Amino acid sequence: MTDSYDEPDRRDMLDRTRQGVIGQPLDRPEGPLKVWGCAPYAAEYARDRCAEGVLVGATISAGRVTAIHRDAVLAMPGVLAVISSERMLRRPAQGTAGEAPEQDVSRVDYPMQPVALVVAETFEQATAAAKALRVDYDDRSGDAAFVPDEAQAEPADDPVEAGDLDAALSGADHVVDAEFTTAGHVSAAMEPHAAIAEWQGDDLTLWGSLQMLSFNRAELADSLGIDPDHVRILSPYVGGGFGSKLGISHEAVAAALAARELGRPVRVVMSRQQVFQSIMRRSETRQRIRLGAGSDGRLTALAHEAWVSNLPGEDFSEPVTQATEFLYAGENRLLSVMKSPVTRLTAGSVRAPGEAVGMQALEVAMDELAIATGLDPVELRRRNLPEALPGEGTPYSSRRLIEAMEAGAKAFGWDQRAPEPCARREGEWWIGMGMASAARVNILAKAEARVTLTADGHVVVETDHTDIGTGSYAVLGQVAAEMLGQPIDRVTVKLGDSSLPPGAGSGGSWGASSTGSAVFRACEAIRATLAQSLGCSGDDLVLQDGQASAEGVEARAVTELLSGDLTRTGRIEPGEQMEKVHQATYGAFFCEVAVNAFTGETRLRRMTGAFGFGRVLNAKTARSQCLGGMVWGIGSALTEALSFDDRDGHLVNHDLAEYHVPVARDIPPMEVILLEERDPHASPIQAKGVGELGICGAAGAIANAVHNACGVRLRDFPMTPDRLL
């Protein structure tokens, strides 16, 4: 069986199987455990003699640690250790899933960077001692820049340049030239970062809250200076990640170091404030977008320039123009991202890095162009979908953007929209409608899974893949049930244990399609063996409700074909061929807002999203992903903004009381339309990613509705009342 996915082979396999569970809106099997409080999160495992660790953050903004006064704290009640080894101070390669960067280990790079761990018998004792710990610093804050310094900005990547942008802009019938800003964001997962570490001899077991276990295992081993074979990570249930748990963080390294030193288990739970201050942020952005179009609205020029920030020396930069590259036409183009150094918390992957904020601006600029050209926003977008990837000529795989716009417009009632702003008023509220496209890159990641068909006809799926609240348990079980023709209640899915075969991990929307494809491949191998026992070809084999049949062959119970448990491992990795088609997911948002004429308050009244992302593996969990994305879009549009103190780089609003994510009362009736789509180029199960699509453009639709309501064009996000008045 080939491992890479190059050819769209067996493209209709899951349409020919008969079990009928794939795509069904099945409940998540772990749902009841979550509701009953019986699905343990990282901090909730009971370990004998478990000590409690509390991290201490640097009180300076930049410089070095010169001394840690352990003795006074070690004399306090219950205190067992103060850990601040070099490895502890080293900043893990957050989110890069690679080796920790080489660095001067005593350096403080940003305010509240963890510099020590205080361990005590109880959490209260550890907290008191952590507060009392005195640390001496060589304070170099005076040399640091606490606002992004664009004069020092460097290109994050090679810019995309084609044609003659200036000539195209000066020759265009309609030009939009607009500047946007988006605020920094945090992931804001419900479960804070936490870890329990326990050693048995040279072997470490870590209960953690992580998204990508095989990478996390390598990172943790690297941070500890040991072989990954000696590390086992368990994360069977994860209370949200949104990028913040792609890589390991200090709590995991610190817990492991402390447990080794003390010879007993150690638990480290970050406070909400610590998660905000020391994990990662999405960079704020400044974006300039220039669009030039002919009188027919067709783009001839497209420029999207972005400025983002990160700590000096960090590789990551928010890929703001990622979707701009493939979404719209415009042969004369410039796409660039510049990264400015700043002394603030590390910037990393947060909820659809790139598109979440890039599409937010691009889709507002497109709305401005629609007004300039007098075209309906849907029609303008329809006219600007390129035949092939601009500049490259690469054909697109599935792209149901037009269908998404049409289905969304119809369901929403887009034809009721007045094109002119300020056309509808109800009491003190201006009412308006807006729309935007959704687009997000699609990735197939390397994955492995093991499937066992037991002698008594049960199915066990095993991989280290995680379920971060997304439905991995449900969809991986559905793929196996469908392929092996067993009712879903005969399938058990085991996840979140790094000793299992390495799945793709939950990140970048690739989890379900990639690890699902590995499960599919393992099931194909099992089917081949069953077909041989039955005396038919694998293609002719029909499996349904535990029965195996084929034309011209007598049907048998699957259990009769087995001489014992049958186990196969499936693997998938992207092939070179995949680069010959451009893959992305697409959709459209439509929404209605009310803007208060006196207070500037914006209330979303309803929202419709229509999305095409290949095969839907589970209509319920897919819908939930889309809803969640749209909710984050509401946050990005209206409320979410990290606020840093320009004098010292400290994060000011470091909890969920001050950093405002949308709450239940902010969410109106939301409708999600899932388009039928198959993408044979994306994966053997013809699925693409859906996890992040729902946020990519959502905030732009809301901004466009605000303009349609009250005539105010806001380009600075979030659109808080002070900015609207």
Which positions lie near ligand MOS, rule CB under 6 A? 211, 241-243, 246, 349-351, 353, 507-508
Who contacts 484 (Cβ-Cβ below 8 Å, separation ≥6)? 19, 451, 453, 459, 523, 526, 527, 543, 558
At 408 the three-state DSSP class reads: helix
Residue 60's nearest CA partner among 141, 126, 114 is 141
Q: Is 354:319 a contact under the CB 8 Å cutoff?
A: yes
Least CB distance from residue 148 to ligand MOS, whole Å?
A: 21
Alpha helix (H) residue ranges in 12-122: 13-16, 31-36, 70-74, 86-89
Q: 96 or 452, CB closer to ligand MOS?
A: 96
At 465 the three-state DSSP class reads: coil
Measured CA to CA, the distance from residue 128 to residue 125 in angstroms comes to 5
Least CB distance from residue 282 to ligand MOS, whole Å?
A: 9
Q: 353 or 516, CB closer to ligand MOS?
A: 353
Least CB distance from residue 356 to ligand MOS, whole Å?
A: 9
Least CB distance from residue 691 to ligand MOS, whole Å?
A: 7
Least CB distance from residue 495 to ligand MOS, whole Å?
A: 16
Q: 466 or 639, CB closer to ligand MOS?
A: 466
**Which residue number is nearest to ligand MOS in terms of Cβ?**
243
The token pair at 358 is 């890039």
Within 10 angstroms of residue 386's Cβ, the number of other Cβ atoms is 18
Q: 281 or 351, CB closer to ligand MOS?
A: 351
Least CB distance from residue 461 to ligand MOS, whole Å?
A: 22
Measured CA to CA, the distance from residue 187 to residue 192 in angstroms comes to 11
Q: 350 or 459, CB closer to ligand MOS?
A: 350
Least CB distance from residue 473 to ligand MOS, whole Å?
A: 18
Within 10 angstroms of residue 338's Cβ, the number of other Cβ atoms is 21
Backbone angles phi, psi at 285, to 5 degrees: -135, 150
Rg of the chain (C-alpha set)? 27
Who contacts 186 (Cβ-Cβ below 8 Å, separation ≥6)? 244, 275, 276, 279, 280, 281, 282, 350, 642, 659
Q: 349 or 621, CB closer to ligand MOS?
A: 349
Backbone angles phi, psi at 304, to 5 degrees: -135, 105
Residue 34's nearest CA partner among 449, 530, 471 is 471
Q: 380 or 445, CB closer to ligand MOS?
A: 445
Catalytic residue of the set 52, 482, 640, 692: 692
Measured CA to CA, the distance from residue 27 to residue 696 in angstroms comes to 26
**Residue 314 catalytic?**
no
CA distances from 380 to 57, 221, 367, 676 (A): 51, 52, 9, 24
Active site residues: 692
